[in-house]
A and B are shown apart, each in its own frame.
Chain A
Amino acid sequence: MRDFISTRAHAIPHSGIRKFFDLIETMDGVISLGVGEPDFMTPWNISEASIYSIEQGSTSYTSNKGTPQLRTAISDYLSSRFGLDYHPEDEIIITSGVSEAQDIAIRAVVDPGDEVLVAEPCYVAYGPCITLAGGVPVPVPCTERDEFRVTADALTERITPRTKAIILNFPNNPTGGVMGRSDYEAIADVIVDRDLLLISDEVYAELTYEGSHFAAATLDALRDRTITLNGFSKAFAMTGWRIGYLCAPPELCDAALKIHQYVMLCAPVMGQAAAYQALRNAEADKDNMVREYRMRRNLFVRGLNRVGLPCHLPSGAFYAFPSIKDTGMTDFEFSEALLKEQRVAVVPGSVFGESGAGHIRCSYAVSRENLKTALSRIEEFMSDIK
């Protein structure tokens, strides 16, 4: 029998942490800092609104773009919260999570052979989605020295005549780094000069702890060449609902919509009902969660530095990204040993790209109790390996 698997499917790797999954299955009492999702349950009024909508019989397809009600609410929210200006009629598509949004964004713009710059370390899905679209992912390393921001120099160095787009994700998974207005201004010239498209994944926008989130598309120079991605998973503890959205100027939006309508048809209707409620009545819940993350961040990052894992104070998302270089171990060795010996699960930084090597990603979307226990276990681990 011949090999039925496509070249492209062959070309994408398995997730780098599969063996940790297998390992953890055999262990008890593990504290996992490996999870990229809030530990809170979805605020009850959001769940309740969705349950009610099901009881009312709202269980059918919606418009491909998503319900007009939710698109309008998102348009208003983006405008009042971040100063973004997207029209609900032809510039917003509700997607099945930001995962789908980034896929259709990439497929809408990438032709075979196109190079797409990806600011690294980054979320693991960008590269494979680019590959699946026939494009070539080109990492742009962001370093600790720049607090994991992307710089104009790093960008310029990697641009070729085939470069078409750049993907940014700030606040960043896995580093917790953020970009402010001046950081975007610094790279906007390059983006405009070299006529690139920006795909800006801002799903952690609400989880910004110092100052407020800066949305890339609020820069006039970038507005018409930016696809903004966002969603409800992180801000409202709604990962399982799978509701995200893509915002872009009408032409780009329409191209993405064609793909969305063939591969997804529409995002789940009960999720859309929940998301609508989230925007209407869950601001206080969201603020409380953000407040809690901020305190946990302070608690955890200070603890990491104290036990000998140097870590900058991340300004966004819910990840700490300490360096483990001083231990002389690789990030994979460190993570495996920490899991086996002290039953604390973290994610090796190189999973998020080569520039993440020598770091580990620790999620602090974990109860304070567990964070404290994890810290004391890490402390023990550190003194054992000295």
Chain B
Amino acid sequence: MDEKDLLLLHLLEENSQITTQELAVMVGVEEEEAGGRIRRMEESRIIRKYTTIIDWERAGNGEVSAIIELKVNPERDFGYDRIAERIARFRQVRSVRLITGIYDIQLVVTGRSMGEIARFVSEQIAPMDRIRETATHIIMKSYKENGHIFFERGEPERLPYSL
């Protein structure tokens, strides 16, 4: 990993559909080298996946999401890893993070309705061994996801010339 690899990652994170040719010019390497660097980062799983940021609210698929915080008793030898990995296997769980503070693990969960999320938390998550407490926060609106702002903002006017 060097400066050029990091640049490639920044550019791809911003737009995964950018062409290799364009990446190469901007980073200042030959196209072949850019391709090789990307392949190596894919193979070493630095690049995990190429995906899309979607404003689901606008798409109107009716799904709801919630942030679930968990207090968890860690396991001897394994800490939080085994339980976190177990939780991560649920399709409903979009992200799992170990955090500092009052709670230990934070999830983002998606479901077709609040009812579905409530059932999922109370029937699948809360009863798991080692989970002492849960707190569920329904997400009401997303203003920004993955560094991308969802609300519209007019472009400020610029002068066509200045010296």
C-alpha gap A316/B7 in the complex (Å): 19
Total interface residues on B, CB under 8 Å, equals 15
Given known A295-B11, A299-B22, contact A21–B161 (CB-CB < 8 A): yes
**Is B59 positioned at the interface, with any CB of A under 8 Å from its CB?**
no
Contact (Cβ within 8 A) B158 A39? yes
Q: What 1/0 mask marks residues of chain B from 138 to 150 whose CB sits below 8 Å from any chain A CB? A: 0000000000000
Given known A295-B7, A295-B11, contact A32–B28 (CB-CB < 8 A): no
Contact (Cβ within 8 A) A21 B163? no
Contact of B160 among A125, A295, A302, A345 (CB under 8 A): A345
Contact (Cβ within 8 A) A37 B162? yes
Nearest opposing residue in chain B for A37, CB measure? B162
Nearest chain B CB to A334 CB, angstrom units: 16
**Is B25 positioned at the interface, with any CB of A under 8 Å from its CB?**
yes
Contact (Cβ within 8 A) A302 B25? yes
Contact (Cβ within 8 A) A35 B162? yes
C-alpha gap A41/B25 in the complex (Å): 25
Contact of B163 among A36, A291, A345 (CB under 8 A): A36
Given known A291-B10, A298-B25, A302-B25, contact A34–B160 (CB-CB < 8 A): yes
When distances are taken between beta carbons in the complex, the residues of chain B under 8 Å from A36 are: 162-163
Contact (Cβ within 8 A) A298 B160? no
When distances are taken between beta carbons in the complex, the residues of chain B under 8 Å from A347 are: 161, 163
**Is A160 positioned at the interface, with any CB of B under 8 Å from its CB?**
no
When distances are taken between beta carbons in the complex, the residues of chain B under 8 Å from A77 are: none
Contact (Cβ within 8 A) A35 B159? yes
Interface centre among B7, B10, B158 (most CB of A within 10 A): B158
Given known A37-B158, A41-B156, A291-B10, contact A351–B28 (CB-CB < 8 A): no
Give 21 A-B contacts (CB < 8 Å), ordered by A residue: A15-B163, A21-B160, A24-B161, A30-B160, A32-B158, A32-B160, A32-B161, A34-B162, A37-B162, A124-B163, A125-B163, A291-B7, A295-B7, A295-B11, A298-B26, A298-B28, A299-B22, A299-B26, A345-B160, A347-B161, A347-B163
